[in-house]
Structure formats: C-alpha cells, structure tokens
Structure 1
Amino acid sequence: MLEEHFFTCPYCFSNISVLLDPSIAAQTYIEDCEICCKPIEIKFFIENGELSFFSAQSIEQ
C-alpha cells in the first residue's frame, strides 16, 4: 500500500505530497512540483516498514 508523505518544495516552498511505496527499501527519482512544475530529486529509505530517511532537493540547472 502506498503512503502519502508531505514536504516543502525547495523552489516555491509550497506544502506538497508524494506517494511512497514502502515495499521498496530505497528509492531515488525526479518528480516535478505540482505547484511550480520544477524538478525535485526525491530520495527515501524504508527500514522495518517505516520511513527512516526522506530528502527533497532542488536540481541545479
């Protein structure tokens, strides 16, 4: 089951969310902000079924 996680966009500072798949232990991918459409690098780690690390960083262009 996917889990919704809220964070602040590093560009426009809006509170937005992503759906995380806790069945995958580690992921890194790019997702556009749903407000300003700029690309955000999402990284997260799941340990023992719980979110242990989450990062949402701007991508230098």
Structure 2
Amino acid sequence: MPGHKGTKEHHPMLLDYFGCDLNAADLVEINQNIDYLHSPKGALLKAQKLAAAAYGADETFFL
C-alpha cells in the first residue's frame, strides 16, 4: 500500500478505537470487484451519491 509508506505503525488511539490491524482492513483498487476510485460505477458511485445527498451537494468525490 503506497500510502502507508511501508509502515504498519498507527496512532495508538486508532488502534484502541478499531481494535485491529488497520493495514489488514484497508482495501485497495487492485480488485476491480471493489470498484475503481477514478471512474466509479458500483458501490463507490452509490456511496458518493449518498454522501452528496447527505451534505446537500450536487456531487461528491472520494480521494
């Protein structure tokens, strides 16, 4: 996971809250069944539309 820069260290508060190895819970776009962040068509698109509705926005984009 490039964003993690090869580390498995997390802030203790995150570990206390989630109670797990956060790297194991992080999903990436390698699996196309998850969806593709740069051109969402499935679950991500639905989530973005729901987020837009929740915030009263025309659109939302996940980074």
Q: Same fold (TM over 0.5)?
A: no
- TM-score, L = length of structure 1: 0.20
Higher helix fraction (1 or 2): 2
Higher strand fraction (1 or 2): 1
Larger Rg: 2
| Larger relative contact order, structure 1 or 2 (CA cutoff 8 Å, min sep 6) | 1
- TM-score, L = length of structure 2: 0.19
